[in-house]
Amino acid sequence: NLEGVRNYPVRLSNPRKLVYSPHEYGAGVFNQPWFSEPNFPNNLYSRWEIGFHYIASQNIAPIFVGEFGGRQVDTESTEGIWQRQFVDYLNDNQLGFTYWSWNPNSDDTGGILQDDWQTVDAPKQELLNQLLEDATSTSGLNPSPALPSSTSPASASPTPAASVAIATPQANLSVESSIQSDWQTGFCVSFRVTNQSNTSANNWRLLFAMEDAAITQSWNGSFRPNGSTYEVIPPDWATTIQPEQSVDLGFCANKLGANYLPRQARIVEYNGMNRR
Protein backbone atom coordinates (compact mmCIF):
# COMPACT_ATOMS: atom_id res chain seq x y z
CA ASN A 1 0.00 0.00 0.00
CA LEU A 2 1.72 3.15 -1.24
CA GLU A 3 -1.16 5.58 -0.75
CA GLY A 4 0.72 7.21 2.14
CA VAL A 5 3.48 8.38 -0.20
CA ARG A 6 1.23 11.27 -1.19
CA ASN A 7 1.57 12.80 2.28
CA TYR A 8 4.70 11.10 3.60
CA PRO A 9 7.14 10.51 0.74
CA VAL A 10 10.58 9.05 1.30
CA ARG A 11 13.21 11.81 1.25
CA LEU A 12 16.72 10.99 0.06
CA SER A 13 19.66 13.34 -0.28
CA ASN A 14 19.82 12.16 -3.89
CA PRO A 15 16.20 11.76 -5.08
CA ARG A 16 17.38 10.13 -8.32
CA LYS A 17 18.14 6.98 -6.30
CA LEU A 18 14.52 6.50 -5.20
CA VAL A 19 12.11 4.11 -6.95
CA TYR A 20 8.81 2.86 -5.47
CA SER A 21 8.02 -0.80 -6.11
CA PRO A 22 4.41 -1.91 -5.57
CA HIS A 23 3.52 -5.60 -5.32
CA GLU A 24 0.15 -6.44 -6.87
CA TYR A 25 -1.76 -9.70 -6.45
CA GLY A 26 -5.24 -10.98 -7.19
CA ALA A 27 -7.90 -12.79 -5.22
CA GLY A 28 -5.91 -16.03 -5.31
CA VAL A 29 -3.41 -14.49 -2.89
CA PHE A 30 -5.67 -12.20 -0.87
CA ASN A 31 -9.32 -11.42 -1.53
CA GLN A 32 -9.22 -7.63 -1.35
CA PRO A 33 -12.61 -5.90 -0.99
CA TRP A 34 -12.45 -4.34 -4.46
CA PHE A 35 -12.61 -7.80 -6.03
CA SER A 36 -16.15 -8.13 -4.62
CA GLU A 37 -17.41 -4.65 -5.48
CA PRO A 38 -20.37 -4.64 -7.91
CA ASN A 39 -18.41 -2.67 -10.51
CA PHE A 40 -15.52 -5.16 -10.69
CA PRO A 41 -13.47 -5.25 -12.90
CA ASN A 42 -14.27 -1.70 -14.02
CA ASN A 43 -12.93 -0.41 -10.70
CA LEU A 44 -9.41 -1.78 -11.10
CA TYR A 45 -7.82 1.01 -13.16
CA SER A 46 -8.86 3.69 -10.68
CA ARG A 47 -7.79 1.43 -7.79
CA TRP A 48 -4.27 1.14 -9.22
CA GLU A 49 -4.09 4.85 -10.00
CA ILE A 50 -5.06 5.72 -6.42
CA GLY A 51 -3.00 2.93 -4.88
CA PHE A 52 0.38 3.60 -6.48
CA HIS A 53 0.48 4.96 -10.04
CA TYR A 54 -0.21 8.54 -8.91
CA ILE A 55 3.42 8.50 -7.72
CA ALA A 56 4.52 8.41 -11.36
CA SER A 57 1.64 10.56 -12.65
CA GLN A 58 2.56 13.35 -10.23
CA ASN A 59 6.30 12.98 -10.91
CA ILE A 60 7.01 12.11 -7.28
CA ALA A 61 9.25 9.20 -8.27
CA PRO A 62 9.47 6.37 -10.80
CA ILE A 63 7.43 3.17 -10.37
CA PHE A 64 8.70 -0.38 -10.89
CA VAL A 65 6.25 -3.21 -10.20
CA GLY A 66 8.37 -5.57 -8.14
CA GLU A 67 5.94 -8.49 -8.07
CA PHE A 68 2.69 -9.61 -9.60
CA GLY A 69 1.33 -13.01 -10.53
CA GLY A 70 -1.32 -15.65 -10.05
CA ARG A 71 -2.42 -19.09 -11.17
CA GLN A 72 -5.40 -18.05 -13.31
CA VAL A 73 -5.21 -16.12 -16.59
CA ASP A 74 -8.66 -17.01 -17.98
CA THR A 75 -11.49 -14.59 -18.75
CA GLU A 76 -13.98 -16.04 -16.24
CA SER A 77 -12.32 -16.29 -12.81
CA THR A 78 -11.78 -13.23 -10.62
CA GLU A 79 -8.03 -13.82 -10.58
CA GLY A 80 -7.84 -14.34 -14.33
CA ILE A 81 -9.80 -11.17 -15.06
CA TRP A 82 -7.62 -9.22 -12.60
CA GLN A 83 -4.38 -10.54 -14.09
CA ARG A 84 -5.42 -9.72 -17.65
CA GLN A 85 -6.49 -6.22 -16.64
CA PHE A 86 -3.19 -5.65 -14.85
CA VAL A 87 -1.18 -6.71 -17.89
CA ASP A 88 -3.23 -4.21 -19.92
CA TYR A 89 -2.50 -1.56 -17.30
CA LEU A 90 1.25 -2.22 -17.35
CA ASN A 91 1.24 -2.08 -21.13
CA ASP A 92 -0.87 1.05 -21.27
CA ASN A 93 1.40 2.91 -18.84
CA GLN A 94 4.66 1.28 -20.01
CA LEU A 95 5.62 0.21 -16.49
CA GLY A 96 8.57 -2.06 -15.79
CA PHE A 97 7.89 -5.23 -13.82
CA THR A 98 9.14 -8.55 -12.52
CA TYR A 99 6.79 -11.54 -12.47
CA TRP A 100 6.17 -13.91 -9.55
CA SER A 101 7.39 -16.41 -10.36
CA TRP A 102 9.42 -18.63 -12.69
CA ASN A 103 9.41 -21.66 -10.39
CA PRO A 104 6.12 -23.52 -9.78
CA ASN A 105 6.40 -24.12 -6.02
CA SER A 106 4.77 -20.85 -4.95
CA ASP A 107 1.56 -22.26 -3.47
CA ASP A 108 -0.81 -19.37 -4.12
CA THR A 109 0.52 -18.18 -7.51
CA GLY A 110 2.17 -21.13 -9.19
CA GLY A 111 4.84 -20.28 -11.72
CA ILE A 112 5.58 -19.86 -15.39
CA LEU A 113 6.83 -23.42 -15.20
CA GLN A 114 4.28 -26.14 -14.51
CA ASP A 115 4.68 -28.58 -11.62
CA ASP A 116 7.10 -30.78 -13.59
CA TRP A 117 9.62 -27.88 -13.46
CA GLN A 118 10.12 -28.22 -17.22
CA THR A 119 6.94 -27.38 -19.13
CA VAL A 120 6.06 -23.73 -19.65
CA ASP A 121 2.49 -22.73 -18.76
CA ALA A 122 1.53 -21.68 -22.30
CA PRO A 123 -1.53 -19.47 -21.53
CA LYS A 124 0.39 -17.60 -18.83
CA GLN A 125 3.41 -17.09 -21.08
CA GLU A 126 1.16 -15.95 -23.92
CA LEU A 127 -0.33 -13.30 -21.65
CA LEU A 128 3.09 -12.10 -20.50
CA ASN A 129 4.32 -11.93 -24.10
CA GLN A 130 2.20 -8.79 -24.46
CA LEU A 131 4.68 -7.06 -22.14
CA LEU A 132 7.89 -8.40 -23.69
CA GLU A 133 9.94 -6.84 -26.44
CA ASP A 134 9.78 -8.61 -29.77
CA ALA A 135 12.85 -10.80 -30.12
CA THR A 136 13.51 -9.29 -33.56
CA SER A 137 13.01 -5.70 -32.42
CA THR A 138 15.81 -3.43 -31.26
CA SER A 139 13.71 -1.24 -28.97
CA GLY A 140 10.24 -0.43 -27.71
CA LEU A 141 7.33 -2.34 -26.29
CA ASN A 142 4.90 -4.37 -28.33
CA PRO A 143 2.27 -2.01 -29.78
CA SER A 144 -1.49 -1.88 -29.37
CA PRO A 145 -2.26 -1.72 -25.63
CA ALA A 146 -5.71 -3.10 -24.81
CA LEU A 147 -6.93 0.23 -23.44
CA PRO A 148 -6.15 3.47 -25.32
CA SER A 149 -3.78 5.86 -23.63
CA SER A 150 -4.76 9.44 -22.89
CA THR A 151 -4.39 12.14 -25.49
CA SER A 152 -3.21 15.59 -24.50
CA PRO A 153 -4.03 18.70 -26.55
CA ALA A 154 -0.45 18.80 -27.81
CA SER A 155 -0.56 15.24 -29.15
CA ALA A 156 -4.10 14.96 -30.47
CA SER A 157 -4.73 12.66 -33.42
CA PRO A 158 -3.90 14.52 -36.66
CA THR A 159 -7.27 13.94 -38.30
CA PRO A 160 -8.56 16.89 -40.34
CA ALA A 161 -11.67 17.25 -38.21
CA ALA A 162 -12.46 16.18 -34.66
CA SER A 163 -15.18 13.61 -34.04
CA VAL A 164 -17.74 14.19 -31.31
CA ALA A 165 -20.80 12.25 -30.24
CA ILE A 166 -24.22 13.60 -31.03
CA ALA A 167 -25.32 15.04 -27.69
CA THR A 168 -28.53 13.15 -27.07
CA PRO A 169 -28.92 12.81 -23.28
CA GLN A 170 -28.59 9.25 -21.99
CA ALA A 171 -31.42 9.16 -19.45
CA ASN A 172 -30.46 5.86 -17.82
CA LEU A 173 -26.97 6.95 -16.83
CA SER A 174 -25.71 9.44 -14.28
CA VAL A 175 -22.18 10.70 -13.67
CA GLU A 176 -20.41 11.91 -10.54
CA SER A 177 -16.94 13.45 -10.50
CA SER A 178 -14.46 13.74 -7.64
CA ILE A 179 -10.98 15.17 -7.21
CA GLN A 180 -8.64 12.30 -6.30
CA SER A 181 -5.62 14.51 -5.69
CA ASP A 182 -4.59 18.12 -6.23
CA TRP A 183 -1.06 19.49 -6.01
CA GLN A 184 0.80 22.60 -7.14
CA THR A 185 1.29 21.68 -10.78
CA GLY A 186 -1.37 19.07 -11.42
CA PHE A 187 -4.40 17.09 -10.30
CA CYS A 188 -6.29 13.82 -10.81
CA VAL A 189 -10.05 13.47 -11.34
CA SER A 190 -12.26 10.39 -11.39
CA PHE A 191 -15.73 9.98 -12.89
CA ARG A 192 -18.22 7.30 -11.90
CA VAL A 193 -20.86 6.51 -14.52
CA THR A 194 -23.80 4.59 -13.03
CA ASN A 195 -26.75 2.84 -14.64
CA GLN A 196 -29.68 3.66 -12.35
CA SER A 197 -32.28 1.85 -14.46
CA ASN A 198 -33.41 -1.77 -14.63
CA THR A 199 -32.22 -2.24 -18.23
CA SER A 200 -28.75 -2.22 -19.72
CA ALA A 201 -27.41 1.05 -21.12
CA ASN A 202 -25.40 1.01 -24.34
CA ASN A 203 -23.33 3.27 -26.58
CA TRP A 204 -22.64 6.07 -24.14
CA ARG A 205 -20.09 8.85 -24.10
CA LEU A 206 -18.92 11.20 -21.36
CA LEU A 207 -18.65 14.89 -22.23
CA PHE A 208 -17.18 17.63 -20.06
CA ALA A 209 -15.63 21.07 -20.40
CA MET A 210 -12.07 21.88 -19.29
CA GLU A 211 -9.87 24.79 -20.25
CA ASP A 212 -6.64 25.37 -18.32
CA ALA A 213 -5.33 21.80 -18.14
CA ALA A 214 -3.50 19.23 -20.26
CA ILE A 215 -4.18 15.53 -19.66
CA THR A 216 -1.07 13.44 -19.07
CA GLN A 217 -2.51 10.06 -17.96
CA SER A 218 -5.93 8.45 -18.15
CA TRP A 219 -7.67 5.19 -17.34
CA ASN A 220 -10.72 3.36 -18.68
CA GLY A 221 -11.30 5.74 -21.57
CA SER A 222 -9.89 7.66 -24.52
CA PHE A 223 -10.08 11.41 -23.76
CA ARG A 224 -10.45 13.43 -26.96
CA PRO A 225 -10.29 17.24 -26.85
CA ASN A 226 -12.24 19.48 -29.21
CA GLY A 227 -11.49 23.00 -28.09
CA SER A 228 -12.51 23.20 -24.43
CA THR A 229 -14.89 20.21 -24.74
CA TYR A 230 -13.69 16.67 -24.08
CA GLU A 231 -15.36 13.54 -25.37
CA VAL A 232 -14.50 10.34 -23.50
CA ILE A 233 -14.89 7.08 -25.40
CA PRO A 234 -15.08 4.04 -23.12
CA PRO A 235 -13.17 0.85 -23.98
CA ASP A 236 -15.13 -1.94 -25.65
CA TRP A 237 -15.73 -3.83 -22.41
CA ALA A 238 -17.39 -0.76 -20.84
CA THR A 239 -19.69 0.37 -23.66
CA THR A 240 -22.56 -1.55 -22.06
CA ILE A 241 -23.35 -0.94 -18.38
CA GLN A 242 -25.69 -3.39 -16.71
CA PRO A 243 -28.48 -2.29 -14.32
CA GLU A 244 -27.21 -0.85 -11.03
CA GLN A 245 -23.59 -1.19 -12.18
CA SER A 246 -20.92 1.50 -12.54
CA VAL A 247 -17.82 2.25 -14.58
CA ASP A 248 -14.97 4.28 -13.09
CA LEU A 249 -12.73 6.32 -15.35
CA GLY A 250 -10.54 9.35 -14.95
CA PHE A 251 -7.36 11.23 -15.71
CA CYS A 252 -4.44 13.18 -14.31
CA ALA A 253 -3.47 16.50 -15.85
CA ASN A 254 -1.03 19.38 -15.64
CA LYS A 255 -2.41 22.76 -14.61
CA LEU A 256 -2.10 25.51 -17.21
CA GLY A 257 -4.06 28.20 -15.40
CA ALA A 258 -6.56 28.95 -12.65
CA ASN A 259 -9.63 27.51 -14.43
CA TYR A 260 -8.32 23.96 -14.62
CA LEU A 261 -11.07 21.83 -13.08
CA PRO A 262 -13.51 19.94 -15.36
CA ARG A 263 -17.13 21.11 -15.35
CA GLN A 264 -20.48 20.36 -16.97
CA ALA A 265 -19.90 16.60 -16.98
CA ARG A 266 -22.77 14.78 -18.67
CA ILE A 267 -23.53 11.47 -20.34
CA VAL A 268 -24.82 11.39 -23.91
CA GLU A 269 -25.95 8.61 -26.20
CA TYR A 270 -23.69 7.80 -29.12
CA ASN A 271 -25.92 7.87 -32.21
CA GLY A 272 -23.22 8.41 -34.79
CA MET A 273 -20.67 11.07 -35.48
CA ASN A 274 -20.80 14.76 -36.23
CA ARG A 275 -17.87 16.29 -38.06
CA ARG A 276 -16.80 19.73 -36.96
The count of C-alpha atoms lying within 13 angstroms of the C-alpha of 120, restricted to the half-sphere facing its C-beta, is 8
Q: Would you kindly state where each structural domain of the chain is located, as residue ranges?
A: 3-131, 153-275
Instruction: Measure the CA dihedral 71/33/149/147, to 10°.
Output: 50
Integer angstrom CA distances of residue 93 from 70, 141, 150: 21, 11, 10
What does the pLDDT read at residue 195? 92
Gyration radius from the chain CA atoms: 20
Q: Is there a contact between 199 and 245 (Cβ–Cβ < 8 Å)?
A: no
pTM value?
0.55
Burial class (CB in 10 A: 0-12, 13-18, 19+), 247: buried
Counting every residue written for the chain, the total comes to 276
Q: What's domain 3-131's architecture?
A: Alpha-Beta Barrel (3.20)
CATH fold for domain 153-275: Immunoglobulin-like (2.60.40)
Quick one: which H or E segment has residue 213?
A: strand 213-219
Quick one: which H or E segment has residue 195?
A: strand 186-195
DSSP 68-136: EE-S--SSSSHHHHHHHHHHHHHHHHT-EE--S-SSS--TTT--SB-TTSSSB-HHHHHHHGGGSPPTT
Instruction: Measure the CA dihedral 133/138/144/145, to 10°.
Output: 40
Q: Which residues pair with 175 in a beta bridge?
A: 193
Closest residue by Cα to residue 206 from 254, 262, 161, 162: 262
> pLDDT of the chain along its 276 residues, tens only?
799 998 899 999 998 899 999 999 999 999 999 999 998 998 999 999 999 999 998 889 999 999 999 999 999 999 999 999 999 999 989 999 999 999 999 989 999 999 989 899 999 999 999 999 764 433 333 333 333 333 333 333 333 333 344 445 667 899 999 988 888 889 999 999 999 899 998 889 999 999 999 998 888 889 999 999 999 999 888 889 999 899 999 999 999 999 999 999 999 987 654 333
Integer angstrom CA distances of residue 220 from 20, 123, 191: 24, 25, 10
